[in-house]
Chains A and B, each alone.
Chain A
């Protein structure tokens, strides 16, 4: 479904694997020049991760309000606002220097993200294959954050996301329908890559470009492979909660191995690679809520897959396993946060 390649951006050293380019007749479409990751981008991502950990520590009383206040101010001063670090959040902290802040994030929080069924345009997916899980998950995230792109593109018309999925897959931008402006799904034969190169991370860069017109611009989504369950829970909570302002959904690139954990309604005897969008958590991060693009698609309801659009009570430890596992066809991948 996607490329067997991965990247970790941020705290961990860049790890690269060659892209599994199997198609012999790729269209001659260049990667937009703006798709380029600098050392500063990596440093920002690392700082953002460190602040997310501090936020969790503040929430559990391990560090003081003054520490988080100062560090948020320092972060904003150096890096500006990002997904969960906003001027509003910084101002909220600054306005109450002598008041005991209500530590957040709360125990449970969800965003009003809408699920969209993955489509399977025959010209771009392999015949019969429902391959737009990546574009569908991306539409769920972006439709929530900003329905119209920086360049004026839209995703959903009358509740239908077909054109939006197709656009993100390759119909938006030069060289369409093989454009590499966003997810590059069509270009890669119906697979939405987790990683193409150290400068080309389609999902996270698409989110950023859609919103700010810069691949490494606001809100600074990044590819990341969590190092532990608590690491994943920390990032999930910080982005979803966002200081009680409308938060930032995450995307997850999962590898379902045989005899290992599968998403609800996925047959456990099959190896499956898939994209989902995470829209909430419960149990202080113990559980993840996610939308599954299989629901409502032709793939669903055939006594193999039987998937709900909105899924709650899924163990975050199992999400961690899914985004860090490797099988014979692919992985490990990670989260886009």
Chain B
């Protein structure tokens, strides 16, 4: 139940020791030019574009079009051709306070969540857009009488969209799935949230069954209904799933692990302050932290500094990696004049 039952979270934490390492060595940190010296880099002006996701094939970036001039009023959900930089607005927002909360898609469909009541976006509506016909469908929405879900993220694979939401006063999170054409809306799991799908498996965060026990991850085969627990991750603050393994950040936001395949032991690949918003594919792990946006190259086994913008994190799909970047090292405001940088995974050494 999303009730108002706050309590003090106690006093300030005492300085803590570094998290225990489960691996022998943290990979070295390299700059991009040294790690990937001949990789083609494309850049696009960020003034009219907010990138949130990329299609798995890397052809299209998905996000929000904004007016290029201050104060950057929002235009609507949009698709950017990563080869040309051309931005196509799916449709303009009808409410000027609406934002694209999350978005996912492929060559056939784009699914996105709109909301206007920041910061919770509890008035969320989930839409799909048929890229072939241009048809837009409303797939789901927060209950009208009293919306309960704080923030809603979507994941999509093989034309199936998954998300988690609270839709009743019981406060229980359920994991939902629906086909992109609006068919076969179903509940996959109760007391679970944050689903990510890589067909046919959906990975989600399960609420502890007993008080004091950690939250764990589980995966469900969306075709057969088979459910398997994932040993290793506990109380993850963020996780990402690429169909083979998971990357996750510890509850204290100080350690980043990769566990691929799922049955293997976790490997510590990074530690630091304020690790957040992890993403993963077969080649890379991306995240943000106090030192900026970083990616771990799973083949070269090095960490690459993508951007010095504090807290920013890359956007990633199976075949693409994009991030916000400040090209002027002497910029008075490092967030003015930024560009989106792009690389294709297929171009990596």
Contact = CB atoms under 8 A, between A and B. Distances in A.
A257 B72 contact: yes
Given A1-B118, A1-B119, A114 B8 contact: yes
Given A128-B2, A296-B9, A313-B290, A306 B96 contact: no
Chain A interface, >50% SS class: loop
A129 B310 contact: no
Contacts of A328: 71-74, 96
Interface in B188-215: 193-194, 205
B56 to A, nearest CB: 19
Contacts of B100: 269
B36 interface: no
A116 B10 CA distance: 8
Given A264-B276, A303-B193, A328-B71, A119 B118 contact: no
B63 interface: yes
Contacts of A279: 12
Interface residues of B, number: 69
Interface in B150-196: 150-153, 164, 193-194
A313 B146 CA distance: 38
B149 interface: yes
B8 A302 contact: no
B7 A261 contact: no
Contact of B119 (A110, A160, A261, A274): A274
Interface residues of A, number: 68
Contact of B150 (A126, A263, A267, A302): A302
A47 interface: no
A121 to B, nearest CB: 5
Contacts of A114: 8-12
A306 B238 contact: yes
A306 B236 CA distance: 10
B9 A267 contact: no
A313 B253 CA distance: 14
A310 B73 CA distance: 32
A223 interface: no
Contacts of A310: 12-13
B27 interface: no
Given A302-B150, A308-B253, A268 B313 contact: yes
Contacts of B10: 114, 159
B32 to A, nearest CB: 20
Contacts of A273: 118-119
Given A1-B118, A110-B12, A162 B99 contact: no
Contacts of A259: 46, 50, 72, 324, 335, 338
Given A268-B313, A306-B237, A258 B66 contact: yes
A112 B2 CA distance: 29
A268 B73 CA distance: 16
A116 B324 CA distance: 33
A122 interface: yes
B40 interface: no
A265 B276 contact: yes
B318 interface: no
A272 B118 contact: yes
A138 B70 CA distance: 31
A311 B252 CA distance: 12
B120 interface: yes
Interface of B: 2-13, 46, 50-52, 63-64, 66, 70-74, 96-97, 99-102, 117-123, 142, 145-153, 164, 193-194, 205, 237-238, 253, 273-274, 276-277, 288, 290, 309-313, 324, 333, 335, 338
Given A160-B6, A258-B72, A269-B99, 6 more contacts: A114-B9, A258-B50, A261-B310, A268-B324, A269-B51, A302-B150
